Structure 1
Amino acid sequence: MDEILQVKNVSKEYGIRGFRTKVLENINLEVKRGEFIAIMGPSGAGKTTLLNLMSTLDNPSKGEILLDGIKITKTKNKDLSQIRRDKIGFIFQDYNLLDNMSLMDNIALPLALERVSSLEIEKRVLKMASIFGIEDHLKKYPCELSGGQKQRGSAARALIKNPSVVFADEPTGALDSRASSDLLQCLSEINTKEKSTIIMVTHDPLTASYAKEIYMLNDGKVSCRLSSDGNRKNFYGKIIDMLASVGGQV
């Protein structure tokens, strides 16, 4: 597998000269195509900042980031917009579905904006809906859906164009345990079957156990990395041990 994302000596600071706060310091990581990565760490460790940098929503103070071979840290804003449209999918904690559109139209929106034919749109929406178990809810509006159904719809929308990488920021943060499990099983399935690359920020060890690799951030640095052996129960135990070794706070 080749690298879909490379982060090289990336640092991020905020503030003005003399009053600057360093959030990330010399971060290095590589994500191969088809991997499922989780980023964990205590509050203030820089998890969301790192996600924003990797997904082109912010720029590092130092270092470079390559996405699918493109140096996004050297790319103009208008070209970054096209990269987001063509290569990136987003899953947010608060769903970001449009209330005045049906679930089917919400999922189809990225394809409709690209003027894909209606027959192709229907085919791809139905495929995504089947994977995420929401085929019976496509005619409903967001106000008629549960939180879990909304989030699975959001995930289906993020993946509808088969992006190079999907970024998920606390995707289970607003869900109960059953809805969280349903979503994560769907993401794990699509990662395995479709080789979709997923990078997820989470504070929850159970959520993180669905990933294949975990990067732990502490004080703006990568403090350790864990790899799954394919047994999620064993991996969950390793995550708990890791959290205990760093104080148990995420």
Structure 2
Amino acid sequence: MREILKLNNLSKDYGIKGFKTRVLNNISLSVEEGEFLSIMGPSGAGKTTLLNLLSTLDKPSKGEIFLDGIDLTKVKNKELSNIRKDKIGFIFQDYSLLDNMTLMDNIALPLALGRKRTKEIEQKVNKIADIFGLTEHLKKYPYELSGGQKQRGAAARALITRPKVIFADEPTGALDSKSSTDLLECLKRVNEENNATIIMVTHDAFCASYSKKVYLLSDGEIKCQINKGNDRKEFYGKIIDLLATLGGAK
């Protein structure tokens, strides 16, 4: 397997000199292409901060982040924008779909901005819509869709350019249990069939059980890692036990 993401001694401080708070402390991590991993931990552990650093939405106070061999900490803003466009996909909790565009146009937007041909765009949208169970909803506008359909649409949009890494921040946080399961099954399928690399922040053990690996973050440091094995229910139980040792994941 090829290494797609590497962190070396990553730290993040907030505040001014003399009044700084360290949120992340010397984190080192290697992610191989095709991994599906979850980052969990108590409130204030630094989960979202870590995701923001990895996805180029924020810069570390020290350390290195290599994405596909590129040191993101040394890249200028213009090149960073191109890296976001070409190599990174985002799935947010609030969907972030454009209300004045159909679902098809929302999903197609990254390809349209990349000036791909209309026929190629249609083929790719139809293919990924089928994976996410959205084919019959492509002509609808966001206000005509359920929360689960919107989130699957947002996930399809994030994946349509085949980015190197997909970052998901609490993707099931606003969904009911059935919609959550539908989305997670789709992400699992994309990971297994398309070798998509997915890094997900979640407080939900059920959600995390769909990944292949879980990292537990506490006090700004990675305390431990557990791997899935063959049984998701058994993995879910291990995650619950692990979270109990730290008093939960909220």
Structure 1 length as normaliser, TM-score? 0.99
Alignment of 1:183-194 (within 5 A): 183-194=183-194
Q: Which amino acid aligns with 1:177?
A: S
Alignment of 1:148-163 (within 5 A): 148-163=148-163
* Residue 82 (structure 1) aligns with: 82
* Residue 73 (structure 2) aligns with: 73
Alignment of 1:17-166 (within 5 A): 17-166=17-166
- Deviation of 1:231 (Å): 1.1
* Residue 181 (structure 1) aligns with: 181
Please give the secondary structure, in 2, of the residue aligned with 1:19: coil
Q: Do the aligned residues in 1 keep the contact of 2:111 with 2:121 (CA within 8 Å)?
A: yes
* Residue 201 (structure 2) aligns with: 201
CA distance in 2 between partners of 1:249 and 1:81 (Å):
33
* Residue 234 (structure 1) aligns with: 234
CA distance in 2 between partners of 1:162 and 1:184 (Å):
18
Please give the secondary structure, in 2, of the residue aligned with 1:133: coil
Aligned residues with identical type, % of pairs: 67
Please give the secondary structure, in 1, of the residue aligned with 2:20: strand
Aligned-CA RMSD value: 0.6
- Deviation of 1:2 (Å): 1.1
Deviant stretches of 4+, over 4 Å: none
- Deviation of 1:245 (Å): 1.5
CA distance in 2 between partners of 1:29 and 1:187 (Å):
22
Q: Do the aligned residues in 1 keep the contact of 2:10 with 2:63 (CA within 8 Å)?
A: yes
- Deviation of 1:230 (Å): 2.4
Q: Residues 167-188 of structure 1: CA distance to partner in whole angstroms, max 9, x if unpaired?
A: 0000000000000000000000
Please give the secondary structure, in 1, of the residue aligned with 2:226: strand
Q: Which amino acid aligns with 1:141?
A: Y
- Deviation of 1:115 (Å): 1.0
- Deviation of 1:248 (Å): 2.3
CA distance in 1 between partners of 2:67 and 2:230 (Å):
27
Q: Which amino acid aligns with 1:116?
A: K
Please give the secondary structure, in 2, of the residue aligned with 1:214: strand
- Deviation of 1:149 (Å): 0.1
Can you give the 5+ residue segments of structure 2 that lack an aligned partner in the other structure? none
Can you give the 5+ residue segments of structure 1 that lack an aligned partner in the other structure? none
Please give the secondary structure, in 2, of the residue aligned with 1:18: coil
Q: Do the aligned residues in 2 keep the contact of 1:212 with 1:230 (CA within 8 Å)?
A: no
Q: Do the aligned residues in 2 keep the contact of 1:38 with 1:202 (CA within 8 Å)?
A: yes
